[in-house]
């Protein structure tokens, strides 16, 4: 009998898995149920419409640093389908890719629609059945060994709206993506899964009313940011916006601190080292050199090259120093205050803001529910998970889509191995 495979969610992981499944199990009946009216709607807007589909991993110090949730699982799964495999896979399907200086990988066309169109074409060509406007409201396992399981398969699938009949499947793969609200996972209730409470990740931080917001548009290339009272810290460029702080270092920090900040109502003290990894002694030396070189110059006119004049003036004021003061007038106390601000500048954050509408979910289906090798449920044979619906998420840079490709591939391979023709 033909194996009926239901994929719930037509996003990155679901569509990729569907193609991989049909490559390995051409005889299987693979159906993708998508609640929206189009497949891959989120992929279409990724990377600001350019789709940062993976990363070269060249600057990745550890998998833990890029996957704050799910690093152990990803370490294992990336051995099966890595960024190199993803790169080759997309190029083998005719999409030319480019790696930017920051190691993010995009289609050379700079158009996410090329990815959407290619995946959609491959699904159609391989005979995947696509059912859009099908929001799954329930997945019920049929009783093991009874006649219904024999004829209808292991699972019965119901849809919202009441106008669509239930459907059945032998194998179900859940790829419904991130859901920052717990209600988005209610369709899994009958399966009694452990859920790790979902909260948002990847956001900018608000410092309402603070003077620094006047410097909107200022970018500092390499800062270290952290949250007072925690060990959470992140490096990278920082962007000052009219509501507060943003840019890669802040997004990274928001990812590491997603749960902590949620628990504190997004109120926290943010510290910034404007000199990145440099410590107080190193920064003090830098300041001494500046002071020696420009003794008779006003402090506002001689400043570290990686900062701009407006930010420097702000830092001087934060340190209680008058910008028009001459370097020769800076005593030890003033120097210490300046070094302290440069390495440990403090701001109260009072909330979060979306970064270019980009966010991911921290939390979801807990990893304890599944086999790390196959992504199959430990309690329900034939039920698989892939993508952001699981408690796996990454910092920005193409790592989230890579997780979707990797998990989609592994889940498809596991299904083919276990449920394909022997």
DSSP string of 104-134? EEEETT--HHHHHHHHHHHHHHTT-EEE-S-
Size of the site for ligand FAD (CB under 6 A): 37
387 to 406: interface string for ligand FAD, x by CB under 6 A: xxx--------xxxx--x--
CB of 17 to ligand FAD, least distance (A): 9
Give CA separation, 237 vs 38, 53, 304, in Å: 35, 21, 16
Part in contact with ligand FAD (CB under 6 A); list of ranges 33-41, 227-235, 239-247, 248-256: 33-41
CB of 407 to ligand FAD, least distance (A): 8
Q: Is 175 in the site for ligand FAD (CB under 6 A)?
A: yes
> C-alpha angle 269/275/277, rounded to 5°?
85
Toward ligand FAD, which CB reaches closer, 170 or 388?
Answer: 388
CB of 101 to ligand FAD, least distance (A): 16
Q: Is 310 in the site for ligand FAD (CB under 6 A)?
A: no
371 to 390: interface string for ligand FAD, x by CB under 6 A: ----------------xxx-
Q: Is 47 in the site for ligand FAD (CB under 6 A)?
A: yes
d(CA 168, CA 157): 6
Q: Is 167 in the site for ligand FAD (CB under 6 A)?
A: no
What is the sign, positive or negative, of the torsion defined by CA atoms of 380, 381, 387, 390? positive
Among 5, 6, 7, 12, binds ligand FAD (CB under 6 A): 12
Q: Is 41 in the site for ligand FAD (CB under 6 A)?
A: yes
244 to 283: interface string for ligand FAD, x by CB under 6 A: ----------------------------------------
d(CA 73, CA 371): 10
What is the footprint of ligand FAD within residues 129-148 (CB under 6 A)?
135-136
Q: Is 11 in the site for ligand FAD (CB under 6 A)?
A: yes
Helix (H, G, I), strand (E, B) or coil at 362: strand
Question: Which residue is closest to ligand FAD by CB?
Answer: 11
Query: Can you say whether residue 55 is alpha, beta or left, with left for phi > 0 and alpha for psi between -120 and 50 degrees?
Result: beta
Would you give the DSSP letter of residue 38?
A: S
Query: Can you say whether residue 238 is alpha, beta or left, with left for phi > 0 and alpha for psi between -120 and 50 degrees?
Result: beta
Torsion of CA 5, 10, 16, 21, to 10 degrees: 10
d(CA 418, CA 374): 10
Among 360, 370, 410, 415, binds ligand FAD (CB under 6 A): 360
Among 4, 7, 10, 115, binds ligand FAD (CB under 6 A): 10
DSSP string of 152-219? H-SEEEEETTS-S--EEESEEEE-----SSGGGGGGGGGG---EEEEEEESEEEE-TT-GGGGGTT-E
**Which residues here bind ligand FAD, judged by CB under 6 A?**
8-14, 33-36, 41-43, 45-47, 51-52, 135-136, 175-177, 187, 357-360, 387-389, 398-401, 404
């Amino acid at each position: 009998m033909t194996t009926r495979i239901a994929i719930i969610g037509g996003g990155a992981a679901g569509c990729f898995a569907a193609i991989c499944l049909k490559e390995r199990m051409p005889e299987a009946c693979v159906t993708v149920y998508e609640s929206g009216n189009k497949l891959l709607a989120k992929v279409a807007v990724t990377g600001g419409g350019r789709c940062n589909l993976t990363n070269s991993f060249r600057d990745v110090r550890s998998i833990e640093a890029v996957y704050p949730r799910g690093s152990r699982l990803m370490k294992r799964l990336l051995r099966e389908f890595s960024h190199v495999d993803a790169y080759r896979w997309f190029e083998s399907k005719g999409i030319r890719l480019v790696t930017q200086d920051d190691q993010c990988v995009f289609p050379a066309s700079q158009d996410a629609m090329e990815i959407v169109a290619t995946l959609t074409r491959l699904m159609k060509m391989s005979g995947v059945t696509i059912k859009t406007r099908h929001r799954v409201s329930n997945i019920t396992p049929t009783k093991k060994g009874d006649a219904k399981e024999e004829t209808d398969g292991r699972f019965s699938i119901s849809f919202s709206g009441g106008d669509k009949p239930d459907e059945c499947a032998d194998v179900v793969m859940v790829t419904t993506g991130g859901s920052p609200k717990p209600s988005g996972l209610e369709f899994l209730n009958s399966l009694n899964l452990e859920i790790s409470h979902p909260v948002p990740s990847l956001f900018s931080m608000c410092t309402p009313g603070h003077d620094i917001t006047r410097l909107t548009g200022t970018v500092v290339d390499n800062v270290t940011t952290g949250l007072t009272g925690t060990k959470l810290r992140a490096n990278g460029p920082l962007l000052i916006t009219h509501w507060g702080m943003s840019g890669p270092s802040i997004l990274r920090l928001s990812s590491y601190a997603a749960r902590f900040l949620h628990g504190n109502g997004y109120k926290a003290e943010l510290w910034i080292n404007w000199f990145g990894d440099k410590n107080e002694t190193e920064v003090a030396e830098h300041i001494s050199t500046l002071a020696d070189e420009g003794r008779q110059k006003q402090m506002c006119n001689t400043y570290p090259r990686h900062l701009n004049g407006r930010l420097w003036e702000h830092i001087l004021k934060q340190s209680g120093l008058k910008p028009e003061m001459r370097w020769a007038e800076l005593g030890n106390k003033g120097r210490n205050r300046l070094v302290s601000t440069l390495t440990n500048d403090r701001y109260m954050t009072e909330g979060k803001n979306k970064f270019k509408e980009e966010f991911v979910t921290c939390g979801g289906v807990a990893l304890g529910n599944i086999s790390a090798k196959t992504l199959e449920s430990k309690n329900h044979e034939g039920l698989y998970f892939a993508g952001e619906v699981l408690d796996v998420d990454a910092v920005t840079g193409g790592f989230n889509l890579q997780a979707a490709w990797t998990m989609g591939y592994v889940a498809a391979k596991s299904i083919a191995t276990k449920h394909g023709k022997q």
